[in-house]
Structure 1
Amino acid sequence: MPKQGVARSGREASDMRSKLLLSIFLLAQLSLAEPLQTVITDPDGDGPWPAAERVEGRLILDFQGSPSEVEMNVWGKLFGLSPKVILPTHGLAMVDVAESELPELLSRLKRDPMIQQVSPDYVVHVSGFEPAIEAETRGETAAKFPNDPLFKHQWHHKMVGASKAWKKAKGEGVTVAILDTGIAYAEKGVVRPVEDLAQTKILEGYDFINDDPLAVDDLGYGTHLAGTVAQSTNNKLGAAGLAFESRLMPVKVLNHEGQGTFGGIAAGIRFAADNGADVLVMGFGSTADSMLLEEAVEYAHAKGCVLVAAVGVAGDDTPNFPAHYDQVIGVGAVGDGGKITDYSSRGADIMGPGGEAQVGLGILQNALHVRNPKRSGYLWFAGTNCAAAHVGAAAALVISSGVKEPVAVREILLSTARKKKDKKAYGAGIVQADKAVKKAHQTVAESKESAFEWLALLLLALLSLPAFIKRK
């Protein structure tokens, strides 16, 4: 698990012991009460939890005050439970019990002073498609910037104005967390690092699937998204990345089947926010909502993170979660002609290139072969996850231009998008990185000019003060 936070004060430890004693007292009282009927209801009283995609018998526990693992285990023995710690610095843990035991357990947990919140766990799915075929990897090195031989096939970067954007910003100093299947940046098992991330700065992340500090990809999607954001660029090899001077943080929250759960994702979001991520790219979604997930999103947003997520690939009218939350920029997908794809869900805030999983029509980056991680190549992926990566990279370019506040970054991206008539289908339009960077620079310049004007007025007032006092 990620490293535990700093030691608590004596008062905090005393409070935790008091809560443990109160838990014992309440547990004794509850043991005398009549058991509930077996109806699993939302602890906030909003109705039953949806059964679709719920992990049977699992609850995610959000402890008060972030107790230590030892304290969680002591508490667990009172209930006959074995909590598995997910993120100790935030007091997140999960328990697995028989489905039939959930109603009574839920009633007890709702009254327990150590539990801040209890939620069901839901399955999320990657919002993308497997590539159709590998691209030809070799070709003539381009004579002009960037010299990556496959850049000429990356229609998606041209669609968002990459070349013009690079004249003013390349993502320097910005950290982009890729919350997905991991990144193939180190050796682990059969996986080897992909060649076209060799010059990319990759920070320490975490694998919440296998509880491992090494967040290595074993499916391919996460590495592909990482390439869209920060593929090593102008290195006479392979393809280009949109914000290629940004730093990547791999946060593995999806397994080798492209699935994850809310518990791991909520932990991953908080981890990225706590460890300096400026942008979070999330290429997955679920039809289920969760207060646990929403609070993790709110936490990251409050810490200054720009959150970007795929709306889903069901082709329906409702974005998946977390893309549906107000603090998240929900991204839909367009093809190479700028038309929304059949698979993209509607209701997005903005659109990005998602393409089709066909030669020349997909998103081309260096990645692992899906379901065969021993191999890597340059592959045409597709999905709203690919679209989200482009918007996340554009956000990194805006931040590196000097606009850092999440609400301001969002406003710039949406206001500079290429507009479409059908707002339900296209939201604000197709992201335009070059126009967003230009507006960001204008915003910073205007802010500096305004600050200078206020300073000049203040100095003038100070200089005029002696004469004013003399007249009095």
Structure 2
Amino acid sequence: MRRRAIIGVSIFLLGIGAVMMANLDRPSREPEIYSRTGMDERRVQVQNLQHKSPHIQKVDTIQANEVLKKRLNNDPSIQMIHHNAQDKSHYYANEVVVDFSTIPSRTSLDKIAKDIDGVLKEKHNSSYIFKSYSKTTTELIQYFKQNHRITFAEPHYIYLQNEVNDTYYQNYQWNLPAIRTEVGWNVTRGSKKIKIAVVDTGVDLNHPDLSRRLTRGYNALSPKEPPQDDNGHGTHVAGIIASVPNNGVGVAGITWYNPIIPVKVLNSEGTGGSFDVAKGIHWAADHGADVINLSLGNYQPSAVMEEAIRYAMKKDVVVVSAAGNDNSSQPSFPAAYPGVLGVAAVDWEGQRAPFSNYGDYIDIAAPGVHIASTFFQGQYASLSGTSMAAPHVSALAGLIRSIDPNLRNTEVMNIMTRTTQQTERSRPAVYYGSGVIDNTSALEAAYRRKYPLGRTSEWFNQFFGR
């Protein structure tokens, strides 16, 4: 009797072991989604990957962007820094951003205002914006460096959205199969616990394809107002990450469940100051963001922005930024800051987009040409730019953390850069970084790291036929 019992237990344990071995590489059990394996195949379960009745706004922003740049170049209240013959950065004339090592008293602030013939415009933590009616920005910086205990004093830089033109809409979302999104959904479709902040022009809070995915946000320009998008850029970025899949409406986002934190730091023209962008990053990091997407940039390093990036990194946030769209090797910030994942753009053939910036600060690449997504005022639009490439990476970071929320930000970034598409790895790193993202490979790697022997529930469910 005892011998039979021993034999029975042995068989049971061997059975368990066999199931365990069979599940070593088994992904989590999401309902299966079929993916196209070639251009001829269209067997995609997600109904709205191919939009059969598109109401897509054909947006051409070349002229608008050129008009904006000319206005900034000729505006007497705006100053320029010429990095080279092509690339320029802008900042607000007669203003300075100052970070104090010791918070000044009201008496000290009054004296400063008198000394500079100006006013205190705004403050956030230990950083302040001062404006003078008579002193130049250079004179203001010199004054603060000579007369006060400060961490830094610098111009109030202007950031622009990293979006370029598009007058063409393809009738399906080529970008999703290009990064193996659908097969990756068999591993995970996301988690409501992992939040992704879009620090941008805000988001259309009432968009039918986004509103259910939005959580509490912040308007750094007008803190008492909601982060409503009055430009379209932020809504487009958010839709790439989170527009509702499989609902027969509009377009499909890369994540199914991850909430979007809308943070408005850019105005209706798509521009914003370094101070407000930094405020938005701080707010997102303090309010539960696991990933922050920054589809914006400037060619001039900024101490207030770098401090905000370091703050988010210390909070274990994955920070993703667009590389810029001037076909330039001039480093763009925040993409070039240490710890930020700088993203270049590729087209539907996996080739570098002709506008995409390049350099040794590029970490990874993603689709950024003719990307269909949500747009403000309840619309849809097709846009191109590294602004569109970055949210593909942010979405993947959110999915990876959905599998394992305990992964450090650096571990999430390492998984993405180690699992890029094989065909891209031999291409120049200055254009592609480690290569084009591969959602399936990255998510499977994260799953194996989290569950090296598979999920216990799956073993027992399969063994007992449940």
Q: Deviations along 1:231-252, whole A, 9 cap, x unmatched?
A: 1222232211112311111111
* Structural mapping, 1:122-271, within 5 Å: 122-132=157-167, 153-172=172-191, 173-185=193-205, 193-200=206-213, 202-271=214-283
Q: How many pairs were matched up?
A: 363
Shift of 1:342: 0.5
Distance 2:374 2:322 in 1: 20
Shift of 1:331: 0.3
* Structural mapping, 1:367-386, within 5 Å: 367-368=375-376, 375-386=377-388
- Residue in 2 aligned with 1:335? 347
- Residue in 2 aligned with 1:91? 126
- Look up the SS of the partner of 1:443 in the other structure: helix
* 1:310 correspondence with 2:316: no
Distance 1:399 1:431 in 2: 16
- Look up the SS of the partner of 1:278 in the other structure: strand
1:108 to 119, 143, 152: 143
Asked if 1 retains the 8 angstrom alpha-carbon contact of 2:345 and 2:367, the reply is: yes
Distance 1:344 1:250 in 2: 26
Q: Deviations along 1:117-171, whole A, 9 cap, x unmatched?
A: 22211112111124426788xxxxxxxxxxxxxxxx1111111111111122222
1:323 to 310, 316, 335: 335
Shift of 1:107: 3.3
- Residue in 2 aligned with 1:60? 97
Distance 2:353 2:332 in 1: 16
2:306 to 277, 294, 299: 294
Shift of 1:103: 4.4
Asked if 2 retains the 8 angstrom alpha-carbon contact of 1:131 and 1:379, the reply is: no
Mark the CA change 1:134 to 1:184 in structure 2 (over 3 Å): closer, same or farther. Answer: farther
1:82 to 112, 119, 123: 119
- Look up the SS of the partner of 1:163 in the other structure: helix
- Look up the SS of the partner of 1:352 in the other structure: strand
1:363 to 371, 394, 408: 371
- Look up the SS of the partner of 1:167 in the other structure: coil
- Residue in 1 aligned with 2:412? 409
- Look up the SS of the partner of 2:240 in the other structure: helix
- Residue in 1 aligned with 2:71? none
- Look up the SS of the partner of 1:267 in the other structure: helix
Distance 1:303 1:438 in 2: 26
- Look up the SS of the partner of 1:129 in the other structure: coil
Distance 2:397 2:111 in 1: 43
1:438 to 441, 444, 459: 444
Distance 2:95 2:332 in 1: 22
- Residue in 2 aligned with 1:359? none
Asked if 2 retains the 8 angstrom alpha-carbon contact of 1:133 and 1:379, the reply is: no
Q: Deviations along 1:298-329, whole A, 9 cap, x unmatched?
A: 11101101000000000122341010112100
- Residue in 2 aligned with 1:422? 428
Asked if 2 retains the 8 angstrom alpha-carbon contact of 1:86 and 1:264, the reply is: no
Shift of 1:227: 0.5
Distance 2:301 2:190 in 1: 33
1:277 to 278, 289, 301: 289
Asked if 1 retains the 8 angstrom alpha-carbon contact of 2:95 and 2:140, the reply is: no
Deviates more, 1:390-399 or 1:113-122: 113-122
Asked if 2 retains the 8 angstrom alpha-carbon contact of 1:181 and 1:217, the reply is: yes
Q: Deviations along 1:331-372, whole A, 9 cap, x unmatched?
A: 0000111111100111221001001xxxxxx1111212xxxx
Letter in 1 for 2:119: S
- Look up the SS of the partner of 1:324 in the other structure: coil
- Residue in 2 aligned with 1:143? none
Shift of 1:98: 4.2
- Look up the SS of the partner of 1:321 in the other structure: coil
Structure 1 residues without counterparts, runs of 5 or longer: 1-39, 41-49, 137-152, 186-192, 356-361, 369-374, 450-472
Q: Flag the structure with more relative contact order, 1 or 2, with Cα contacts below 8 A and sequence separation at least 6.
A: 2
Asked if 1 retains the 8 angstrom alpha-carbon contact of 2:326 and 2:357, the reply is: yes
Shift of 1:67: 6.6
Distance 2:165 2:204 in 1: 17
Letter in 2 for 1:216: Q
Letter in 2 for 1:95: F
Shift of 1:401: 1.0
Asked if 2 retains the 8 angstrom alpha-carbon contact of 1:366 and 1:378, the reply is: yes
- Look up the SS of the partner of 1:177 in the other structure: strand
Mark the CA change 1:314 to 1:51 in structure 2 (over 3 Å): closer, same or farther. Answer: closer
- Residue in 1 aligned with 2:54? none
Distance 1:99 1:412 in 2: 52
- Look up the SS of the partner of 2:451 in the other structure: helix
Shift of 1:263: 1.3
Mark the CA change 1:135 to 1:219 in structure 2 (over 3 Å): closer, same or farther. Answer: farther
* 1:387 correspondence with 2:402: no
Mark the CA change 1:100 to 1:135 in structure 2 (over 3 Å): closer, same or farther. Answer: same
Distance 1:318 1:442 in 2: 39
